[in-house]
Structure 1
Amino acid sequence: MLAGAALVVGLNSPAATTDSVTATTPSDPPPPATAIPPSFSELWRAPSPATPVPIAAGGGAVVAEGSRVSGRDARTGAERWSYTRELSLCTVAAAFGRVLADYRNDEYCSELSSLDATSGARGPARTLDARPGTRLVGDGPVVATGQDYLEAMRSDLVRTAEYGNVRALEEPDDQPRTGCTFSSFAVAPARAGVLETCPGDGSDRLTVLRPDASSGDKPAFDFSTVLGVSGARLIALSGERAAVLLPGRPRLLLLDRAGARVGEVPLSVGPAVQEPQDGVARTTRGGAALYWWTGAATVALDPETLVPRWTLPNALGPGVEYDGRLLVPVQGGLADVDPRTGAVARTLPVDRAGYVGPVQVVAQGEILLEQRGRDLVALGPAR
């Protein structure tokens, strides 16, 4: 399962010491889901506070805590590979078929390593200008978020765009605005959006970048527009639309690719919508819809127009598609939902041992991986 450890020490940085243990055998991913079981039961669990969402990659699961990232067998939790540095993890994500591990070096989360998701073998690495609290979101581009700066990168981790408070501008006028504060983010193929507050605007501004068309530290844009309200939040992007949650009575503002307003759609989501501290709305994308968790309800959005289709109240997370159905975390289990209509057929029992907080879930074949706070929990179907 595990190869011998490779100890690597950077020539100029003692803190760059790494311990890399790669897998020696091919992964054995779980079989695909072929039916909705009567229930799910816990198979294993592990602390994983550095994964904001559960990661299913390389046929297995990824766990991250402290300074260590490891690839696990999805069914047993057995470790297949690991990667450790003498630095603390800021955040871990998966993109481009790799695991991206971002480590803190002094005041910045500047040390980004990529690992093959199946073997743990090291791939491209680079230096970021991200600060603690950053998230790595998207899968082409990947965006490193921040309070006043973001950067986008392609699959080889080469930076394709940066926006905001750039530390070393090539040209003074490359960035269109200064002194802005970023509050929420969303990514779609070839697009990256940020909701910001800038001096002199008087209200929130939505900016959508085109990272692949940017040059150096001069970003390219689909649009940047003042919204006329304060306290808005960017929820999602598609290829042609942006969805913004407006303050006050819950409703979504939809904008087209040029920033023109398409319309406002009221939402019936129960209690006030919660704002994630990291500025990234809790969403999962499936074949039928984009599922957004408001903090109390799951809303299915059309994957292209972002128009809401249905709302499921009393949810603990956005859910995951599984054998043509949608499984949504709820108190006591998983709601078995028709992804086209939102109709609930039944609730599959899951014993979460008293845990009542948010639950994000992904599928690795027939195995479900739930992120419950600081823990990753693997669930197997009842036989």
Structure 2
Amino acid sequence: MVRPERRTRSDLVAVVLILVVVLAAAAVIWWRSDARATTSEPAAAPAPVLTSPTRVPAALHELWRAPSPATPVPVVAGSTAITGDGGTVSGRDPGTGAVRWRFSRDLPLCTVGEGWDRAVAVYRKSANCSEVSSLQGDTGVRGPARNADAPFGTRLLDDGKYLTATGERVLESWRSDLVRTQQYGIMPALKNAGNNLRRPNCTYPSVAVGSERIAVVEDCPDDPAQRITVLKTKPEDDEEPEEVSSAVLGGSEATAVAVSTKQTAVYVRDRGSLVVYANSTGGIEAEYPLPTAGAPFPDAGVEAVAADRVWTVNLRPVPGPEQAGAARSISAALHRFDPAITEQRVLDGLATAGPDRPFRVAVLDDDQYRQVKDKIGDVPGATFGGLLYWNNGATTVALDAATFAPLWEVPGALGPGALHGGKLLVPMPAGIAVLDRFTGARERLIPVDRQGWDGPVRLDSAGTTVLEQRGPNLVALG
């Protein structure tokens, strides 16, 4: 039998010293780590599903309020109202304001937005807004995270599939796992000279997103006026931005309002016009005079635009053989959403319709619309109707979501508004106006005491609760 090697006192001392060094190093790493600096208190159970309102209440009173300077608009993720203050993101019951979950870091928040039913929090480091965490709206459980190159003052814009972080010199987009899909502009540390940009010396005073497109107003030293550029949110090559179109504007006080796969709307203040550009050519399709008095430039270069996220499917009469096929195709696409939509019902509706009075077949939410838009888009006589509500600082304007043509206006509005109980609610100085969402006809005004606040107001709805973002505070009404 081999005798074990004899241990000396020096050996034992060395082992102890090694253990001390290892433990000390681990303690230092932990002390400096994000884990030590992060507090996560998820909810014990998911938040209950909110009940959609069926009507607008006769009166609205303040239910609760909370400081939330990191949310430029009301943020609703799942069934939870989100607030951001200091370094803490809180998920609250929309009706009571009670905190369901909390997530905090020892860093200040740059901004908080919403995407994929998650709250997305962007934290500030010394050089930029680089620490990004996503939190499940109903529980606060932490999801994907990333390091970003977002600059100070960034805003998060959601197009329904991708989230884009804005910036004066750089902007970038992320998919649902927070993997970056594109980056446009000059970053602090360049991989490629000029970052594969055609115009590397420009700044970006305004950004809009929609339909997997990004519309960027550019200030370029070599251009006689500002420029509007449309990018793909997910280019073929993630190392190089993919430009759809770019055109010099006829003015130098412009902001991007809205963008789709086909068109881009730009508000050119020094021309007093909303100008619609074709993405395929960069040429002007239409121009609409709009008031500019009292309309300041938007904060962070983002126009106040709210989509009603409700789409109508309309069908106009077409020649006999095509009409039967159109009714068959429409009913096949929509029957799963509403069993009452049958081929015969569509034909009966078309019997009372005319070229200027289409038959409204169905009303779809945004998710349903995305599922069937390609199937219905090629059906003869079929069109989609949808609205965007845009506020230029002086007036709220309803825009046709398909063409961006202005349809009606609400002068003196404090923000774009939001749907609630089938009506459009628009913030006014004396309260909230209740409007018909299709025509803009005012039905009544609900008085709201804002306790001296007379600045911009952004609205949203969480179940039966109406939320107002008033500067640094989120206020719930019910």
TM-score class, shorter: over 0.9
CA deviation string 1:263-283 (max 9, x = no partner):
21111x362422113000011
CA–CA distance in 2 between the matches of 1:184 and 1:270?
17
Asked if the contact 1:29–1:364 (Cα under 8 Å) also holds between the matched residues in 2, the reply is no
Q: Is 72-81 or 199-208 further displaced after alignment?
A: 199-208
**Could you give the per-residue CA deviations for residues 127-156 of structure 1, whole angstroms, max 9, x where no partner exists?**
111111011111422111111111111111
Task: Count matched residues.
Answer: 371
User: What's 2:403 paired with?
Assistant: 305
Q: Which residue of 1 aligns with 2:223?
A: 201
CA deviations on 1:66-86 (whole Å, 9 max, x unpaired) are 000010001111110010001
What TM-score do you get using the length of structure 2 for normalisation? 0.75
Aligned equivalent of 2:91, options 71, 90, 113 = 71
Aligned residue for 2:426, secondary structure, equals strand
User: What do the CA deviations read for 1:150-177 (whole angstroms, capped 9, x no partner)?
Assistant: 1111111111111111344444362222
**Structure 1 segments unaligned to the other structure (5+ residues):** 1-8
Q: In terms of mean alpha carbon deviation, does 331-340 or 101-110 score higher?
A: 331-340
Q: Could you tell me how far 1:249 is from its partner in structure 2?
A: 4.4
The answer to whether the aligner puts 1:240 opposite 2:262 as a matched pair is yes
Looking at CA atoms only, which structure, 1 or 2, has the larger radius of gyration? 2
Deviation of 1:216 (Å):
2.8
Deviation string, structure 1 residues 301-327 (Cα, Å, up to 9, x no partner): 111211100110111111001122101
Q: Superposed, which structure 2 residues align to 1:339-350 within 5 Å?
A: 339-350=437-448
Which one of 176, 182, 196 corresponds to residue 161 of structure 1? 182
8 Å Cα contact 1:88-1:103 kept in structure 2: yes
Distance 1:29 1:56 in 2: 13
**Is 1:24 matched up with 2:24?**
no
Q: Quick check: 1:208–1:222 contact (8 Å CA) kept in 2?
A: yes
1:254 pairs with one of 253, 276, 290? 276
In structure 1, the partner of 2:454 is 356
Higher mean C-alpha deviation, range 35-44 or range 13-22:
13-22
- How far did 1:12 drift? 8.6
Of 286, 304, 313 in structure 2, the residue corresponding to residue 263 of structure 1 is 286
Aligned to 2:394: 296
| 8 A Cα contact 1:238 1:306, kept in partner | no
Report the alpha carbon displacement of residue 193 of structure 1 after superposing the two structures with TM.
1.3
Specify whether residues 216 and 184 from structure 1 end up closer, same or farther in structure 2 by C-alpha distance, changes over 3 A only. same
- Identical pairs, percent: 44
Query: Over aligned residues, Cα RMSD in angstroms?
Result: 1.7
* Matched position secondary structure for 2:234: helix
Offset of 1:11 from its aligned partner?
5.0
* In 1: Cα distance, 2:127 partner to 2:285 partner: 42
Determine which structure has the larger helix proportion and give its number. 2
Match for residue 372 of structure 1?
470
Q: Secondary structure at the match of 2:449?
A: coil
Residues 252 and 270 of structure 2 are in contact (CA less than 8 Å); yes or no, is this contact kept in structure 1?
no
Query: How far apart, CA to CA, are the structure 2 residues paired with 1:56 and 1:103?
Result: 19
CA deviation after TM superposition for structure 1 residue 106, in Å: 0.7
Deviation at 1:205, TM superposition (A): 1.0
Q: Does structure 1 conserve the Cα–Cα contact (< 8 Å) formed by 2:265 and 2:276?
A: yes
Instruction: Considering Cα pairs closer than 8 Å and 6+ residues apart, tell me whether 1 or 2 has the greater RCO.
Output: 1
Q: Does 1:223 align with 2:245?
A: yes
Indicate the residue corresponding to 1:6 in structure 2.
none
The answer to whether the 8 A contact 1:161-1:214 is kept is no
The farther-off stretch of 52-61 and 349-358 is 349-358
Q: Could you tell me how far apart the structure 2 residues matched to 1:342 and 1:322 are?
A: 14
Paired with 2:151 and 2:174, the residues of 1 have a C-alpha distance of 16
Give 2:74's aligned residue.
54
Structure 1 pair 164/228, CA: closer, same or farther in 2 (3 Å)?
A: same
Query: In terms of mean alpha carbon deviation, does 347-356 or 51-60 score higher?
Result: 347-356
For residues 299 and 78 of structure 2, what CA distance do their matches in structure 1 show? 29
1:13, distance to aligned residue in structure 2 (A): 4.1
Instruction: Indicate how the Cα distance of structure 1 residues 149 and 206 shifts in structure 2: closer, same or farther if over 3 A, else same.
Output: same
User: Partner residue of 1:33?
Assistant: 53
Structure 1 residues 163 and 22: CA distance shift in structure 2, 3 A: same
| Alpha-carbon distance in structure 2 between the residues aligned to 1:262 and 1:10 | 59
- In 2, distance between residues paired with 1:154 and 1:23? 25
Aligned-partner residue type, residue 156 of structure 1: D
**Deviation sequence 1:212-248 (CA, Å, 0-9, x none):** 1242330112112222422222111123211111132
Distance 1:147 1:119 in 2: 34
- From 51, 57, 82, the counterpart of 2:102: 82
Distance 2:154 2:56 in 1: 36
Q: Per-residue CA shift, 1:11-40, capped at 9, x if unaligned?
A: 594466100000012212442111121111
CA distance in 1: counterparts of 2:255 and 2:236, whole angstroms: 25
The 1:24–1:356 alpha-carbon spacing in structure 2 relative to 1, beyond 3 Å, is same
The reply to whether residue 148 of structure 1 matches residue 169 of structure 2 is: yes
Aligned amino acid, residue 280 of structure 1: V
Q: Distance in 2 between matches of 1:275 and 1:29?
A: 38
Matched with 1:335 is: 433
Q: Whole-Å Cα distance in 2 between the matches of residues 10 and 210 of structure 1?
A: 41
Q: Aligned partners of 2:126, 2:107: CA distance in 1, in Å? A: 9
- 1:56·1:369 contact (CA, 8 Å) conserved in 2? no
Alpha-carbon separation, structure 2, partners of 1:164 and 1:262 = 28
Residue of 109, 112, 121 corresponding to 2:129? 109
